[in-house]
Amino acid sequence: MTATLLFQSFSAVLIGWLLLHYAHIYHRKYLFYWSYSFFSLAIFLLGSSLGLWLVDNDFGPSSPWRLINLFVITTAGYMQIAFLVIGTISLVKGTSINKFTFIRILMICLFIAFCITVFKNWDASGADLRYLTRIGLRYFTAGLACLGTAIYILRNDPNPIIGKKIVTIGFFVYGFEMTFLGWLTFENYFFNGSDLLLYLIPYHGLFELILYPIIGVGLVVWLLEVERIKSKKTADQLKHLNLSDALTGLPNQPALQQFLQQWSLVAQSNEPMTLVLFGVDKMARFNDGEGFKKGDQLLIALAKRIDMLCRGKPFYGRIYGDVFVLMMNGNEKNEIKKAEKIRQKLSRPFKLSGQTFHLEVSAGVTELSNTSDHEQAFNQANLALMFAKQRGGKQSLAFNSEMKSPQNSNINFENDLRSAFKNNQFELYYQPIWSSKNRIMCFEALIRWQHPSRGLLLPGAFLSMLQQMRMMIQLDYWVVDEAFKQAKAWRKVNTDAAKININLSAETIQDGSITEHIKQCSLRHQLTPQHITVEITENTLMQNIAIGTNTLNELRELGMEIAIDDFGTGYSSLNYLRSFPADVIKFDRTFVSDQSNHHLNHKILQALIPLCHDLNKKVVIEGIENQTQFNQLEELKVDGFQGFYLSHPLAEKEAIKMLTMSKKSMVKAMFNEAPG
Ligand code: C2E
Ligand code: MG
Ligand code: MG
Q: Kindly report, residue by residue over 9-28, the tens digit of the pLDDT.
A: 998 898 899 889 888 877 77
Mean pLDDT of all residues in 295-307: 94
Per-residue pLDDT reduced to its tens digit, 473-531: 999 999 999 999 999 999 988 888 899 999 999 889 888 899 999 999 999 999 999 99
Residue 676 pLDDT:
34
Q: CA–CA distance from 119 to each of 124, 138, 589 (Å)? A: 12, 14, 103
Distance CA 502, CA 87 (A): 79
- Neighbouring CB atoms inside 10 A of 451's CB total 16
Mean pLDDT of all residues in 583-596: 86
- Neighbouring CB atoms inside 10 A of 69's CB total 20
Q: What angle do CA 60, 66, 72 make, to 5 degrees?
A: 165
In the predicted model, is pLDDT for residue 59 greater than 90?
no
What's the pLDDT band for 341 if we cut at 50, 70, 90?
A: very high
pTM, to two decimals: 0.49
- Neighbouring CB atoms inside 10 A of 255's CB total 20
What's the pLDDT band for 265 if we cut at 50, 70, 90?
A: confident
In the predicted model, is pLDDT for residue 34 greater than 90?
no
Which atom in ligand 1 lies closest to the alpha carbon of residue 644?
18
474 contact partners, CB below 8 Å, separation of at least 6 = 421
More confident residue, 187 or 542: 187
- Closest residue by Cα to atom 45, ligand 1, is 503
Residue 304 pLDDT:
95
CA 491 centroid distance within chain: 57
For every residue of 470-498, DSSP letters joined together read T-HHHHHHHHHHHHHHHHHHHHTT-TTT-
Distance CA 512, CA 527 (A): 21
| Mean pLDDT, the chain, integer | 86
Per-residue pLDDT reduced to its tens digit, 87-137: 878 877 777 788 888 899 899 999 999 999 988 888 878 788 888 888 889
CA of 565 to the centre of ligand 2 (A): 5
CA of 136 to the centre of ligand 3 (A): 98
Residue 15 pLDDT:
86
Residue type, 395: Q
623 contact partners, CB below 8 Å, separation of at least 6 = 588, 589, 590, 591, 592, 593, 642, 643
| Least confident residue range of 50-54, 371-375, 474-478, 622-626 | 371-375
More confident residue, 436 or 159: 159
Q: Choose which residue among 417, 535, 569, 622 to substitute to test ligand 1 binding: the one with the highest number of ligand atoms within 8 A of its C-beta.
A: 622
Q: How many Cα atoms occupy the beta-carbon half-sphere of 378 within 13 Å?
A: 13
More confident residue, 429 or 669: 429
- Neighbouring CB atoms inside 10 A of 377's CB total 19
Helix (H, G, I), strand (E, B) or coil at 141: helix
- Closest residue by Cα to atom 37, ligand 1, is 446
CA of 444 to the centre of ligand 2 (A): 7
Mean pLDDT of all residues in 592-608: 84
In the predicted model, is pLDDT for residue 675 greater than 50?
no
Which atom in ligand 1 lies closest to the alpha carbon of residue 624?
18
What's the pLDDT band for 210 if we cut at 50, 70, 90?
A: confident
Distance CA 383, CA 589 (A): 31
449 contact partners, CB below 8 Å, separation of at least 6 = 417, 420, 425, 426, 427, 456, 457, 461, 462
Distance CA 442, CA 565 (A): 15
Domains within the chain, CATH numbers bracketed:
2-240 (1.20.1070), 248-404 (3.30.70.270)
Mean pLDDT of all residues in 625-629: 91
Q: Which residue, among 492, 493, 514, has the nearest Cα to 558 in the 3D structure?
A: 514
By the 10 Å C-beta count (0-12 exposed, 13-18 middle, 19+ buried), 375 is classed as: exposed
Q: Choose which residue among 428, 467, 503 to substitute to test ligand 1 binding: the one with the highest number of ligand atoms within 8 A of its C-beta.
A: 503
Which atom in ligand 1 lies closest to the alpha carbon of residue 586?
3
Residue 415 pLDDT:
86
Residue 370 pLDDT:
82
Distance CA 85, CA 171 (A): 11
What's the pLDDT band for 665 if we cut at 50, 70, 90?
A: low
| Residues with CB in 5 Å of ion ligand 3 | 565-566
Distance CA 336, CA 338 (A): 5
155 contact partners, CB below 8 Å, separation of at least 6 = none
Residue 673 pLDDT:
46
Which atom in ligand 1 lies closest to the alpha carbon of residue 622?
15
Distance CA 480, CA 533 (A): 10
In the predicted model, is pLDDT for residue 65 greater than 80?
yes
Q: CA–CA distance from 395 to each of 72, 109, 295, 309 (Å)? A: 85, 78, 21, 18
By the 10 Å C-beta count (0-12 exposed, 13-18 middle, 19+ buried), 3 is classed as: exposed
Query: Which ligand is in closest contact with the Cα of 479?
Result: 1
Reduced 3-state DSSP string for 577-604: HHHCCCCEEEECCHHHHCHHHHHHHHHH
| Least confident residue range of 135-144, 189-198, 317-326, 456-465 | 189-198
Q: CA–CA distance from 581 to each of 358, 425, 507, 527, 568 (Å)? A: 30, 34, 18, 23, 16
- Closest residue by Cα to atom 22, ligand 1, is 623
CA 447 centroid distance within chain: 40
416 contact partners, CB below 8 Å, separation of at least 6 = 451, 452
CA of 445 to the centre of ligand 1 (A): 9
Ligand 1 pocket (Cβ < 6 Å) reads 431, 446-447, 458-460, 463, 476, 479, 503-505, 535, 565-566, 589, 622-625, 642-644, 649
